[in-house]
Structure 1
Amino acid sequence: MIEFINVEKRYGKDVLALQDINLSIEQGEFVAIIGLSGAGKSTLLRCINRMHDITGGTLLVDNIEVAQLKGKGVRKLRRRIGMIFQSFNLVTRTTVLKNVLVSFIPDLPAWRKITGIFSKEHKIRALTALDQVGILDKAYVRVDQLSGGQQQRVALARTIAQNPAIILADEPIASLDPVTSKQVMDDFKKINKDMQISVIMNIHHVEVALEYADRIIGIRTGEIVYDGHASEVTPEILDYIYNGKLDEIQDEFEEKEKEAYV
């Protein structure tokens, strides 16, 4: 499904964000990418859907070389790859349903794009996606009336409505409290198992990554330093991935979670 072969990513001449990345991810896997801030986690994730271009090596998705795609090819790739952001990226002054329907716009004929009229089939698919993440009852509620966790579930529904093969999630629970984070992660796990959608998640919460992901990829200064099953991750491995700073990072996140309750 996804294969990195000696991939490199540079920003300008001096910043080497990724180096010698060799990685294969099969359909249906739940993969968590962990490491310090600035280690290259988000860069690796965003190379998959061409939000960032690699500067060396080969990146394949379904045996198609991503770097060679242009125009329609890139758009077609992105239709197969859903993206979930920490900031939700929703239109807050309109309804939940309309936010999910947005996922169909790229495939609509021009007259539907102009009029904003969606077919019955599109509406059924959107409502089904909302049901799959447990917020069907919020379909006609304005997004700005929802909690942060509910908004993230709207973003997830919008993504699965486009029927992707892959979901990329960039810190999807970073701004959520622990209870809400569990609800959102349960949704990701359910979608991964029930729909066989590959989930590749960049995440700071190590304990959450170990609980939900099948596979852990540890990145340190742009290199993969661990790739294995979540059950095989030891304190020594985490210490190496985080360069001895894991306890410090965990304390920082605990403080942020306390603030989420205020």
Structure 2
Amino acid sequence: MIEFIDVGKTYSNNMKALEDINLRIEKGEFVAVIGPSGAGKSTLLRCINRMHDISEGKLIVDGVEVNSLKGKEIRKFRQRIGMIFQSYNLVTRISVIKNVLVSFAPKLPYWRKVLGLYTKEHKVKALTALDQVGILDKAYVRVDQLSGGQQQRVALARTLAQNPDIILADEPIASLDPVTAKQVMDDFTKINRETNISVIINIHHVEIALEYADRIIGIRKGKIVYDGKAEDLTEENLNYIYKGQTEELQSNEMEGKTDV
């Protein structure tokens, strides 16, 4: 369970990225966060795993107040949360399986970490994760020989291997073609339904968000302006999320244009 209570985030340049965020996400939910560029979508996600500190309010994950954590507690907490980026964050000159094995590095003794020595159990978990996303046959291929979609699936496998409670994905399909994007989203859906891992995706593609997510959170200028089921999202809701306009406001604007 993730809960934001009166959360705000202000950056050092006094830019207010989040304001009065009150939000509760239950275990196993598939949530898509939508909104215009600069609305605060990425900031919202990155506060959950403490990549960004909140400026006010409380953020609680499974009963733990995130901003009270320090040092090793933060690193241990982050092991429970998988983070997937648009840029994949893979080491392209090494094999797929070695990239997945990196997820176990924080728990290794120092000497194993330095030498890159992983146990048989680690390798089995890595191969299982690759199988879950359908690229087991690429395990020993260098990452730079894969397509963008395959690389994103490697990133997803790396996250799965760490056995997270939550997966956060920041624009995971932004650079993918429509067919590949669908394959990656199918993977997210399968993982969410088969493992009950909470999936929270920041996404620009509204039609894909509506197709895959159970719940939509709309953000505009750092505030939540829509929170509800995907099937309940209306054109009016979308106009308000992206343009700040309601039907009444649009009607008045049209009348004004007609009068001119």
CA distance 1:98–1:225, shift in 2 (3 Å): same
Task: Report what 2:196 is aligned to.
Answer: 196
Task: Report what 1:104 is aligned to.
Answer: 104
Task: Report what 1:38 is aligned to.
Answer: 38
Task: Output the TM-score relative to the length of structure 1.
Answer: 0.92
Tell me how far apart the structure 2 counterparts of residues 21 and 150 of structure 1 sit (CA, whole Å).
Answer: 35
1:14 CA drift (Å) = 2.7
Q: Which amino acid aligns with 1:74?
A: I
Structure 1: gaps (5+ residues)? 246-262
1:182 CA drift (Å) = 0.2
Q: How many residues align?
A: 245
1:121 matched to 2:100? The reply is no
Tell me how far apart the structure 2 counterparts of residues 148 and 76 of structure 1 sit (CA, whole Å).
Answer: 30
Tell me how far apart the structure 2 counterparts of residues 232 and 72 of structure 1 sit (CA, whole Å).
Answer: 42
Tell me how far apart the structure 1 counterparts of residues 220 and 109 of structure 2 sit (CA, whole Å).
Answer: 45
Post-superposition Cα deviations, 1:184-241, rounded to whole Å, max 9, x if no partner, equal: 0000000000010000000000000000000000000000000000010011111110
Task: Report what 2:185 is aligned to.
Answer: 185
Task: Output the TM-score relative to the length of structure 2.
Answer: 0.93
1:12 CA drift (Å) = 2.4
1:110 CA drift (Å) = 1.5
1:205 matched to 2:205? The reply is yes
Q: Which amino acid aligns with 1:194?
A: E
Q: Which amino acid aligns with 1:81?
A: I
Give the root-mean-square deviation of aligned CA atoms. 0.9
Post-superposition Cα deviations, 1:151-171, rounded to whole Å, max 9, x if no partner, equal: 000000000000000000000
Task: Give the secondary-structure state (helix, strand or coil) at the position aligned to 2:149.
Answer: helix
Post-superposition Cα deviations, 1:110-134, rounded to whole Å, max 9, x if no partner, equal: 1211221111000000000000000
Task: Give the secondary-structure state (helix, strand or coil) at the position aligned to 1:4.
Answer: strand
Task: Give the secondary-structure state (helix, strand or coil) at the position aligned to 1:70.
Answer: coil
Report 1:82-101 matches (<5 A): 82-101=82-101
Task: Give the secondary-structure state (helix, strand or coil) at the position aligned to 2:243.
Answer: coil
Tell me how far apart the structure 2 counterparts of residues 114 and 242 of structure 1 sit (CA, whole Å).
Answer: 48
Task: Give the secondary-structure state (helix, strand or coil) at the position aligned to 2:31.
Answer: strand
Report 1:218-257 matches (<5 A): 218-243=218-243
Percentage of identical aligned residues: 76
Tell me how far apart the structure 2 counterparts of residues 82 and 131 of structure 1 sit (CA, whole Å).
Answer: 18
Spell out structure 1 runs of 4+ moving beyond 2 A.
none
Deviates more, 1:180-189 or 1:114-123: 114-123
Task: Report what 1:20 is aligned to.
Answer: 20
